Amino acid sequence: MERAVPGEIITLKDVAAASGVSVSTASRALDERTTSRSAAAAHVRKIAEELGYRRNSFASSLRRGETRTLGVLVPRLSDTVMALMFEELEKAASSRGYFAMVATSGDDPDDERRAAETLLDRNVDGLILATARLDDELPRLLRERRVAHALVLRTDGVSPSALGDDEVGGYLAVRHLIDLGHRDIAVVTGPAFTSTGTARLAGARKAFNEAGIRSREDWLIAAGYGIENGYTAGEKLLGGTPQTRPTAIFAANDNIAMGVMAAAHRSGISIPDDLALVGYNDTPLSARLPTPLSSVRVPLDQIAATAIDLIVNPGPEPLIRRSMPTLIPRQSSGTPRRPPMPRV
């Protein structure tokens, strides 16, 4: 069979005629969503390949009332975790025949709403929200409008959500430090308006309570998730004498941990000799720092696949699905060099 000449458009009707089947049969055989394994379907696909036929998936989707496109809303792509999360969402969407389109909001609720409306104006089949605020009204509005959506890496407790179990992660990090012998442990977590920050702190408190440690409230700092936030918190925690400062810090993401590392270095405090440190998310840089960082690893690929499925293949309950984190110990977590401070 001769291939089409360059520039010639091969239609579904051409494929059907060359295959000796009806147009509807050829269409079903070439539908990537329900690819048949029958000999007849294989014959149609072989003829289509020989002719150089290219299916117009966009037009087919429009006829079905869908665009096979998902909108992804993130605070910013300059954040390593958000960039990695979008990459995984893109892969998971592509494997299911969807295209992922991203927009940023900068953690501003008004900008987030405008970005969501822009994506919806492009007839996306659903929205994935990686924005972080617990007081965010957008998920409620999407539920009221019956827009297919899922939250990723966070939850409001109501909308479909795919995330790591942040409370378990916070517990694993602090339990690791306690098992190394630390009792003077500080926690630098994310903002109070985030489900990740509150859940990771709850996990840390659980580990303290389990070990019978009364945590110091001034050592539980709610900061932002940037390196500069970690640096500021590190300066505050490490400004005292060796006898009055914490011997270990759990930082609720790797950026915070890197900021704490910088503050410790500036103060002449050695990690891990003088200060043990554990981060969160296990970003690629954490293992390649001069002192490799212990961190809690979150399965972003699994979370991404779950988020996509919550929209395109929702299935039964539960709507809120948590993936288990794993502690990755490295050189930054060492044993304390002094006895614990007395609690008054």
196-247 pLDDT tens trace: 999 999 999 999 999 999 989 999 999 888 899 999 999 999 998 888 999 9
Q: What percent of the chain has pLDDT over 90?
A: 56
Question: If phi over 0 gives left and psi between -120 and 50 gives alpha, with beta otherwise, what is residue 157?
Answer: left
What is the residue-averaged pLDDT of the chain?
88
| pLDDT (tens digit per residue) in 32-71 | 655 567 888 889 888 888 887 766 544 444 444 568 899 9
Task: Name residue, tokens 């044993």.
Answer: 335
Q: Which residues of 29-64 are buried (b: 16+ CB within 10 A; e: fewer)?
A: bbeeeeeeeeeebeebbebbeebebeeeeeebbeee
Nearest to 176 by CA among 287, 335, 284: 335
Average pLDDT over residues 105-119: 86
When pLDDT is cut at 50, 70 and 90, the band that residue 131 belongs to is confident
pLDDT of residue 6: 44
Helix axes 195-211, 166-179, angle to 10 degrees: 40
Which long-range contacts (C-beta less than 8 Å, at least 24 apart) are formed by 45-51? 47/1, 47/15, 47/18, 47/19, 48/10, 48/15, 48/19, 50/1, 50/3, 51/1, 51/3, 51/4, 51/10, 51/14, 51/15, 51/18
**Strand 161-164 versus strand 149-152 pairing type:** parallel
8 Å CB contact between 84 and 283? yes
pLDDT of residue 5: 43
**How far apart, in whole angstroms, are the C-alpha atoms of residue 263 and residue 234?**
5
Nearest to 275 by CA among 252, 251, 255: 251
Question: If phi over 0 gives left and psi between -120 and 50 gives alpha, with beta otherwise, what is residue 65?
Answer: left
Average pLDDT over residues 161-179: 97
When pLDDT is cut at 50, 70 and 90, the band that residue 107 belongs to is confident
pLDDT of residue 344: 54
Task: Name residue, tokens 């179990």.
Answer: 165
Nearest to 296 by CA among 321, 322, 329: 329
8 Å CB contact between 324 and 165? yes
When pLDDT is cut at 50, 70 and 90, the band that residue 7 belongs to is very low
- Counting Cβ atoms within 10 Å, is residue 181 exposed (0-12), middle (13-18) or buried (19+)? middle
Nearest to 176 by CA among 342, 322, 297: 297
Which pTM does this prediction carry? 0.79
> Is the model's pLDDT at 318 over the cut of 80?
no
8 Å CB contact between 26 and 19? yes
> Is the model's pLDDT at 159 over the cut of 60?
yes
Nearest to 166 by CA among 71, 274, 281, 55: 281
pLDDT of residue 36: 63
> Is the model's pLDDT at 4 over the cut of 60?
no
One-letter amino acid for residue 73 of the chain: L
**Strand 220-222 versus strand 185-189 pairing type:** parallel
| pLDDT (tens digit per residue) in 18-30 | 888 888 888 888 8
Looking at per-residue confidence, does 90 or 46 come out higher?
Answer: 90
